[in-house]
Amino acid sequence: MNENWNGILNVYKEAGWTSFDVVAKLRGILKTKKIGHGGTLDPEVTGVLPVAVGKATRLLEYMEQAGKVYEGEVTLGFSTDTEDAQGKVISRTPLLETVSADRIDAAIASFVGEIEQIPPMYSAVKINGKKLYEYAREGKVIDRPARLITIKSFERTSPVSYDANEQTARFRFKVACSKGTYVRTLSVDLALKLGLAGHMSQLQRTAANGLLIDQAISLETIEKMRDENRLSEFLYPIEYAVSDLTKINLSQAQAEAAKVGKKFDQADFVALSALTTDKFAAMYDNQLVAIYMKHPEKEGVWKPSKVLG
């Protein structure tokens, strides 16, 4: 592995690959174990998969926590056990006529903000040490605690298309959401809000960690760039891993103090008094120096949770 390969790759994940498959393939291409992805995509979901390489792997936890943007399609008229187009049909509500766009838009608007969501049975969430999809494959349905998620924006992006033969209606959507959001479940819950069975019939992640789908590159391209010794051109700076954190600029003296793990008092930064989150990215000369968090015991004190120097 080239030691200069430290940063974030904007990988386009194709359908049929798991996120783990992509990372395993990249370990072979780049000849390194220091690789990890910043947020799992279901096998049939395509789009942006941020991948940390080298030193950037130290920031994977922040990449996974960052919000994401998805574009997809909801089909109304029947639901499936996996909540997507790959599952088997478990419920039908045949549509004798289309559903009005205004009615759909009103239902969509009700999901914007902080909401509770119950994870789907076909998911990797663990309960009693066992993944939910393992229970599902055994034909079991387990009680799952609801989780708090944030839907930052949610909108219909196409006309409603009605199929009289199938007695279904479809429309496309775009959603920006927090970590832990199951867009499949959001689609099903939206259909239920309309009093109908429904499922997510297609999905693509179009943005994550400040990376956009227009610039995402395939594994084939990455391999080609490696052979041409041009891979560094496609590595984004590690700062992209903390795209969701508030960035606060340090003076040179503060940066030197941060590099050796010094704590800061709230009074040291005017910006800290207005900060509503419990972490911030400490920057110097446009580079990430450290990530600071509120001290768990000392009021008004911030301590480094990760120092990058």
Known catalytic residues are 42
Integer angstrom CA distances of residue 92 from 15, 99, 167: 27, 15, 10
Side-chain half-sphere exposure of 85, counting CA atoms within 13 A:
13
Cα angle 142-143-148, degrees, rounded to a multiple of 5: 125
| Three-state secondary structure call for residue 59 | helix
Measured CA to CA, the distance from residue 201 to residue 140 in angstroms comes to: 24
Measured CA to CA, the distance from residue 87 to residue 295 in angstroms comes to: 46
Within 10 A of 2 (CB to CB), how many other CB atoms are there? 14
DSSP letter, residue 217: B
Measured CA to CA, the distance from residue 270 to residue 34 in angstroms comes to: 37
Measured CA to CA, the distance from residue 255 to residue 258 in angstroms comes to: 5
| Three-state secondary structure call for residue 129 | coil
Measured CA to CA, the distance from residue 130 to residue 124 in angstroms comes to: 9
Using CB atoms within 10 Å of the CB of residue 44, give its burial: 0 to 12 exposed, 13 to 18 middle, 19+ buried.
middle
| Three-state secondary structure call for residue 306 | strand
Cα dihedral: 119, 115, 190, 157 (round 10): -110
Within 10 A of 258 (CB to CB), how many other CB atoms are there? 23
Per the CB < 8 A criterion, the answer to whether 108 and 156 are in contact is yes
